[in-house]
Amino acid sequence: MSSSWRHAAVASFVVVCLSCANQSIAQTPSRPEVLLKKMTLDEKIGQLVQRAGGRQRALNSRIDDAELERVRAGGVGSYLHVAGAEPLAKLQKVAVEESRLGVPLLFAMDVVHGYRTIFPVPLAMAATWAPESEERAARVAADEATAAGLHWTFAPMIDVARDARWGRIVEGAGEDPYLGARMAVAQVNGFQGGNTLRPGSLMATAKHFGAYGAGIGGRDYNTADLSERTLQEVYLPPFYAAARAGAGSFMVAFNDIAGVPTTANRELVRGTLRERWGWQGLMVSDWGAIAELLNHGVTADRAGAGVLALDASVDMDMVGGVYADDLRDAIAKDPARLKLLDEAVLRILRVKEQLGLFDKPLAYNDPDREARELLAPEHREAARAVARQSIVLLKNDGKLLPLNADKLRSIAVIGALATDGRTMIGSWKAQGREEEAVTLLAGITAAAPKVRIISAPGADPRNAEVSGIPAAVKAAKSADLTVLMIGEDYDQTAEARSRSDLGLPSSQMELARSVFATGKPVVVVLTNGRPLAISGLAEQAPVILETWMLGTESGNAIADVLFGKYSPAGRLPAAFPRTTGAVPGYYAANPTGRPADPDLAKDTVRYHDLPITPLYPFGHGLSYSEFRYSNLELSTTMVDPGGRVDISISIENSGNVASDEVVQLYVRDPVASVERPVLELRGFKRVELGAGQHKRVTFSLTPEQLAFWSPRGQWLIEAGRIDFWIGASSADLRAKGSFEISKTHAGTAPAAALPTRVTVSND
C-alpha cells in the first residue's frame, strides 16, 4: 500500500483527524486522550454502549427516567432510533451537563434513502448509473436528518448482491463491485458532505463489512462460504472505496465467512480493514450481533462474545448489552484487555470530536432549521429528478411508449400497488410518510388532466385474493389503454425478506394475464425491490417499465417517463434471471473449460433447460432514442506500470428526442495465471445528449485496475494483452479493442475499488 493512500485512509473522517495526528506528533495529548485518562472503567465501557431510544414507529419512546439516569452515570455512548431537534437537545443536555465528564452522545438512525423526503430505494438509485445523483440524494437526506438532531446514519449499505433471492439486495447497488464502489463513494461523500465539523455532516456507515451479500442460497443472515479471491475481488472493493473516501464508521455483518462470524473476525476487521487498509474509524456491531456469537457457537458465554468482538476491534455494541453487562468481568479476568477497551473508547471519542460535538453539542438541534429542511420543495424536486433517472425501460415493442396524452381519451390504471404510497417509500423509510408519497394513480392523474382515468385494484401482491380481477378487466376494456402496475410490496423485499421464488406473486400474474386477454394495449409498470424472474410476463407484455420503489415522488417521476417528458436511461444494476433456479447468474463469471455455447449444441456450463443468458442482462435499459458508437481510439497500445491508456469513443444520439445514454467500459484479461472473468465493468458514464448531438467519451484506465488477487495472496498485474469493449450493456457491446500491459508487477489495492477517470467533450 502506498504511503499516500495510507495517509488518506487514516484521515478517516477528514479534516480534523489530520490535526489529531499532528497533536500526537507534538506529544500534546488530544482531547479524547485526556478524557480517556479521567474515565473510570464503567465510564469507558459506557462509551461502547449503543441503546435503542425507541422503536421504529415510536421514536424516543424508550427515553424514560431510568434511561436518563443511565446517561447521567456515563453508561451510554450512543442511541439509535431517536430523532427530533428538540427531544434530542434535551437528551444531549443531560449527557453534557449532568454526567461527570460531560461526554456528548451520538444519535443514529438508518437514514438509507432519505429522511423525510424519500428518494428511490438504493438498488433503484444504482440503476441511475449516475453517482452524482446518488451523492445529491445522500446530501439531501443528510440535510434533513442532521436538522432533526441526528449525527450518524447506518448507510450506505454496500454489500454486493449476486443472488436476488436475498431480500436486502434492495438496499445496495446490485451485483457489481465496480458500480458498487462508485455508489459507495458517492453516498459517503453525500452524507458526510466533506467537512465533518459542519452541522449538516452526517457520519456515514459502510455496511455490512465482510460478505453479508454472499449468504448461501440468498437467505438472510446465512453463512458465506467463498474463496479468498472472490472475497477480495468482489465483496470487499466497495468497502475499500468507502474507507478511502473517509467513511467515519463501518458496521460488521451479521453472518460468518466460512465459519468465522464477522463480528469476531480479527483477521478481517483488525487485520485487513484497520492494519492493511489503514482505516481507523468507529466499528459498530449489527443489532445484537455480539450476543449472537453464542448462537454461532464460537463462544460459550456472553463475556466470551464480548472479548471476541473487542479483540476483532468492534468498538460499539448495538443494543445487545454484552459490553454493558459482561465486559467488566472479562477485563477483571485479564487486565491486558484494558488496552483493547481503551483503543475502542478512543475511536468513539475521536468521532465525537470530529463531528464537533465537544465544542458544540447542540449544533444539530435547531428546530427552525428542522422545520425548513424537512420535505423542502427543492428536496422533492431532487427526489423527482433522481426517481426518473432510476427508471429502466426493459421492453418497448412497437414503441408503445411514450404515450401521447392528447390522443388518449381514457386510461385504466390497474393494480393495488398503483395507489400504495407505502410501497413507493420502500424498505427503510426513516421518517418518510406514505401520505406524502405520490402514487402512480396520482401521478398519472396530474400529468394527464384531460384524460379520463379509471382505476381498479384488481389484485394485491400481499395475498392470493383475485376477486377484484373482473372489475379490473371491465376497466381495461372500457379504456383506450391500460397502465398495469404489478410487482412486490415494500415488505416483500427487505431485511429478513428473502424469497425462494423470484416470480411475480401469483395474484399479480393472474391479474396481468386477465388484462392482456382483453386485447387492449397494456403498459406494464413493475414495482419491486429486486430482480424478478418474469419470463412469462415478458412473453406477453409488449412494454415493461421497471420503476422499483421510487420514493416520495414516485408517481410524478413515472408519469414523466410514461408521457415522454423524460426519456428513460436507467440501466439494470443486477441481471433479471430467466427463472429462480438460474440464480446466481452474474455477468462477470469465469470462462470455465466449457464456455456457454449460444447455439446450445454442446454440453456446456449452462442448464439443460435454459439458455445461459439472463432475461435482461446487467447494464440493460432501453431509451426513447437511439445511439451510435463510432471512432474508437486508444492513446497507446502498450501500458507501463504507473502509466495509463485513454480509450475514447464518439456517441451520437441518432434519434429525435433528447436522452441520456449510459456508456459502459468492460475489460477482460484473456490469458492469465488464474482464470479471469469473461467481462468486468471498469468504467461508465451517463451522458446527456440532445437529439442529433454527439459527444466524445474518454476513459482513462491504469494497470492497477486490472490487478487480480493472486494465489499468493497479493494484488498482481500480469504482463500481456487486455481486451476491452465499450457498449450499452454487458450484452450489447458496440466496439472492441485491446492493449498490452508491458510488465508483470504488484498491485496495491482492490482493482474494482479504483475509479476510472471519465471525461466528456464535444465531438
Q: Taking the complex as a whole, how short is the minimal distance between the CB of residue 497 and ligand BGC, in angstroms?
A: 12
Q: Taking the complex as a whole, how short is the minimal distance between the CB of residue 696 and ligand BGC, in angstroms?
A: 42
Q: Taking the complex as a whole, how short is the minimal distance between the CB of residue 429 and ligand BGC, in angstroms?
A: 12
Nearer of residues 110 and 661 to ligand BGC, judged by Cβ: 110
**Per-residue DSSP letters for 505-556?**
PHHHHHHHHHHHTT-S-EEEEEE-SS----HHHHHH-SEEEE-----TTHHH
C-alpha cell recorded at residue 422? 407505502
Q: Around 564, how many Cα atoms within 13 Å sit in the side-chain half-sphere?
A: 13
Residue selected from 207, 302, 644, 694 as contacting ligand BGC according to rule CB under 6 A: 207
Footprint on residues 561-590 left by ligand BGC (CB under 6 A): none
Nearer of residues 429 and 734 to ligand BGC, judged by Cβ: 429
Nearer of residues 172 and 621 to ligand BGC, judged by Cβ: 172
Q: Around 10, how many Cα atoms within 13 Å sit in the side-chain half-sphere?
A: 14
Footprint on residues 150-179 left by ligand BGC (CB under 6 A): 154
Footprint on residues 82-111 left by ligand BGC (CB under 6 A): 110
Place of cell 465493468: 681
197 contacts: CB under 8 Å, gap ≥ 6: 15, 16, 354, 355, 356
The reply on whether position 5 binds ligand BGC by CB under 6 A is no
C-alpha cell recorded at residue 657? 428526442
Q: Taking the complex as a whole, how short is the minimal distance between the CB of residue 289 and ligand BGC, in angstroms?
A: 8
Nearer of residues 287 and 358 to ligand BGC, judged by Cβ: 287
Kindly list the strands in the beta sheet with 757-762, ordered across the sheet, starting from the edge strand earlier in the chain: 627-634, 645-653, 694-701, 757-762
Q: Taking the complex as a whole, how short is the minimal distance between the CB of residue 145 and ligand BGC, in angstroms?
A: 14
The reply on whether position 287 binds ligand BGC by CB under 6 A is yes
Footprint on residues 106-145 left by ligand BGC (CB under 6 A): 110
Beta-bridged to residue 251, according to DSSP, are 284
The packing angle between helices 237-244 and 3-10, to 10°, is 70
Q: Taking the complex as a whole, how short is the minimal distance between the CB of residue 295 and ligand BGC, in angstroms?
A: 15
Q: Taking the complex as a whole, how short is the minimal distance between the CB of residue 290 and ligand BGC, in angstroms?
A: 13
Alpha-carbon distances, residue 521 vs 181, 347, 394, 419, 655 (angstroms): 41, 60, 17, 21, 24
Nearer of residues 119 and 154 to ligand BGC, judged by Cβ: 154
Q: Taking the complex as a whole, how short is the minimal distance between the CB of residue 60 and ligand BGC, in angstroms?
A: 15
Would you tell me how many other CB atoms lie within 10 Å of the CB of residue 656? 11
Buried-exposed string 161-179: b where 16+ CB fall within 10 A, e elsewhere: bbbbbbbbbbbbbbbbbbb
Alpha-carbon distances, residue 38 vs 103, 384, 436, 565 (angstroms): 12, 51, 49, 63
Nearer of residues 80 and 412 to ligand BGC, judged by Cβ: 80
Buried-exposed string 503-523: b where 16+ CB fall within 10 A, e elsewhere: bbbebbbbbbebbbebebbbb
Q: Taking the complex as a whole, how short is the minimal distance between the CB of residue 231 and ligand BGC, in angstroms?
A: 20
Specify the pairing of strand 645-653 against strand 627-634: antiparallel
Footprint on residues 52-81 left by ligand BGC (CB under 6 A): 80
C-alpha cell recorded at residue 676? 479471469
Residues in contact with ligand BGC, counted by CB under 6 A, come to a total of: 7
Nearer of residues 116 and 207 to ligand BGC, judged by Cβ: 207
Q: Taking the complex as a whole, how short is the minimal distance between the CB of residue 613 and ligand BGC, in angstroms?
A: 33
Q: Which residue is nearest to ligand BGC (CB)?
A: 154
Buried-exposed string 50-88: b where 16+ CB fall within 10 A, e elsewhere: bbebbeeeebbebbeeebbebbeebbbbbbbbbbbbebb
Closest CA to 250 of 210, 289, 222: 210
Residue selected from 135, 286, 420, 560 as contacting ligand BGC according to rule CB under 6 A: 286
SS3 653: strand
Residue selected from 495, 560, 680, 718 as contacting ligand BGC according to rule CB under 6 A: 495
**Per-residue DSSP letters for 246-275?**
T-SEEEE-SSEETTEEGGG-HIIIIIIIII
Q: Around 616, how many Cα atoms within 13 Å sit in the side-chain half-sphere?
A: 25
Footprint on residues 679-708 left by ligand BGC (CB under 6 A): none
Footprint on residues 506-535 left by ligand BGC (CB under 6 A): none
Specify the pairing of strand 680-689 against strand 659-668: antiparallel
Nearer of residues 428 and 709 to ligand BGC, judged by Cβ: 428
* Consecutive H or E run containing 627: strand 627-634
Nearer of residues 286 and 669 to ligand BGC, judged by Cβ: 286
Helix then strand then coil, in percent of the chain rounded to 5, is 35, 20, 45
Footprint on residues 711-740 left by ligand BGC (CB under 6 A): none
Closest CA to 684 of 669, 705, 695, 699: 699
Count the helices and strands in the chain (H runs, E runs). 24, 28
Would you tell me how many other CB atoms lie within 10 Å of the CB of residue 759? 12
Q: Taking the complex as a whole, how short is the minimal distance between the CB of residue 235 and ligand BGC, in angstroms?
A: 16
Q: Taking the complex as a whole, how short is the minimal distance between the CB of residue 157 and ligand BGC, in angstroms?
A: 7
The reply on whether position 256 binds ligand BGC by CB under 6 A is no
Closest CA to 110 of 167, 157, 147: 157
Verify whether residue 342 is a known catalytic residue: no
Of 159, 286, 460, 560, the active-site residue reads: 286
Q: What torsion do the CA atoms of 685, 691, 693, 694 make, to the nearest 10 degrees?
A: 40
Amino acid at 386: V
Nearer of residues 320 and 568 to ligand BGC, judged by Cβ: 320
C-alpha cell recorded at residue 68? 436518563
Nearer of residues 207 and 274 to ligand BGC, judged by Cβ: 207
Please give the backbone phi and psi of residue 249, each rounded to the nearest 5 degrees, phi first: -140, 165
Q: Taking the complex as a whole, how short is the minimal distance between the CB of residue 459 and ligand BGC, in angstroms?
A: 31
SS3 376: coil
Nearer of residues 286 and 326 to ligand BGC, judged by Cβ: 286
Nearer of residues 207 and 734 to ligand BGC, judged by Cβ: 207
Specify the pairing of strand 638-639 against strand 452-456: unpaired
**Footprint of ligand BGC (CB under 6 A):** 80, 110, 154, 207, 286-287, 495
Catalytic residues: 286
